[in-house]
Structure 1
């Protein structure tokens, strides 16, 4: 068996490789892909096969996926370019005749109105149309989206545009463990999993930061346009700020709340909570 993991130089891809190793998959049966293979030297040192691949380079993808039995397709990070990039990956997977393609999508990809969902929905459709056996891992938000902001929260409070919408975030490590469970288990073919942890509002996020720090931390809810202005004022590019604010808009509409317990079932335990993640980050 060979499992090819794309995006292994990124946070999630690397964690998936690590989870596979921890589950007892022999290193020689894992292939880690990335644009810069120098960043995968530590995995190569553990016996993992390392190959160069670029979502924009179909030839590199065909070479990298040769002999793949299962493909862990970690979605690209270049918003606005991913439909064409992902199409290249799916085409290479089809040529390689992979037996299963596992794709990291977004919560409620088939119905979500989020800007970020558009490319994921198109990719899911591309995979289905390819005829390849698949699994869609529809990940909700990462808790790591918030943890680096703890110093800012302590200084300025939590600012957003999510209203009282609930966000079913989980750690990258838990999402990675779910992916590894699918790649090493049976009975997942052509399944769609909606994945998320215990939900919270941004007001509850602020309250938890306050509780653990012993300092006063509140939540300021803004209209979406005003939140974009705040993010741009903080130095973010306009387009990126609009995507982030749209995420909060979607959260307010319930699009980041995952009611299923798919994540718990896949990893065999309760996922890390917001309180645990903040405690570890602090």
Structure 2
């Protein structure tokens, strides 16, 4: 039985593979990547796989498939995810694990539209599934340069989680039974504000409007769709959309989840 991890050279996929290798024999693991050269030396079978193209050979013989969501504009992401889901059906995959987002079916975030559509496509196949509804990553919000933290979050709070903790949770699901047709809402251990984050790193929090935030993000060279997506997340943080703390992550990984303070220290 083969377990496949897609996007295994990406930030999340590589961490999932790292944890999976401590829990499953390497000869039971395979990865799919767009550029196999980047996957040399991983110690597992590497298959070329682009969600925008044919995937029959990529998913052949796979029992459990972890679909790590791809990047890009919404319509392209949905098309690629649907292509991967159809290929999983054709290949006879028995269990689809998908990295989704918090409250994908009800969230007001623009980001959730892609994940809701993908979850619906997976459910429609009748294949047992597990949805890992990941919260935002701590790492997304740690400043990489001196100066104030700028955001459109206002006084909102966010229960973000460590990317590594979320990767470990995925590896647990891949390596243990009992997760069929489960939906896990994965958050960090507490909700924090950007004022608190600024205090932790020794700076200030500059609160700006959504329009100004979009302009600023475009000024960093981000494409329009991404700047608007990130600003929308921040606006929804200001409205409380990502503040709820859930127990699922700590239950899966069997320990306390990494705090934002831990992430800042690291």
State the TM bucket, normalised to the shorter chain.
Answer: over 0.9
Question: Residues 182-223 of structure 1: CA distance to partner in whole angstroms, max 9, x if unpaired?
Answer: 11112111010000113211111101111xxxxxx1111112
The alpha carbon displacement at 1:72 in A equals 0.6
1:73 is matched with which residue: 67, 74, 78? 67
1:262 is matched with which residue: 239, 242, 248? 248
Contact 2:138 2:263 survives alignment (8 Å): yes
2:157 paired residue number: 166
Which structure has greater helix proportion? Answer: 1
Separation in 1, partners of 2:51, 2:244: 30
2:102 paired residue number: 107
Contact 2:73 2:225 survives alignment (8 Å): no
1:31 paired residue number: 30
1:124 is paired with a residue of what secondary structure?
Answer: helix
Contact 1:3 1:31 survives alignment (8 Å): yes
2:8 paired residue number: 8
2:167 aligned with 1:176, yes or no? yes
Separation in 2, partners of 1:20, 1:56: 26
Q: What is the TM-score of this pair, normalised by structure 2?
A: 0.96
The alpha carbon displacement at 1:88 in A equals 0.7
2:191 is matched with which residue: 195, 199, 203? 199
Separation in 1, partners of 2:93, 2:219: 46
2:200 is matched with which residue: 205, 208, 211? 208
CA RMSD of aligned residues (A): 1.2
2:45 is matched with which residue: 44, 49, 52? 49
Separation in 1, partners of 2:249, 2:69: 19
2:266 aligned with 1:275, yes or no? no
The alpha carbon displacement at 1:248 in A equals 0.2
1:17 paired residue number: 17
Name structure 2 gaps, 5 residues minimum. Answer: none
2:30 is paired with a residue of what secondary structure?
Answer: strand
Question: Residues 146-199 of structure 1: CA distance to partner in whole angstroms, max 9, x if unpaired?
Answer: 23x232xx32x1111112221111121111100011111121110100001132
1:22 is paired with a residue of what secondary structure?
Answer: coil
Structure 1 segment 233-244 matched on structure 2, within 5 A:
233-244=219-230
1:174 is paired with a residue of what secondary structure?
Answer: helix
- Report the number of matched residues: 264
The structure 1 segments of at least 4 consecutive aligned residues displaced by more than 3 Å after TM superposition are none
Contact 2:129 2:181 survives alignment (8 Å): yes
The alpha carbon displacement at 1:238 in A equals 2.7
Q: What is the TM-score of this pair, normalised by structure 1?
A: 0.90
1:252 paired residue number: 238
2:144 is paired with a residue of what secondary structure?
Answer: helix
2:176 is matched with which residue: 168, 179, 185? 185
The alpha carbon displacement at 1:230 in A equals 2.1
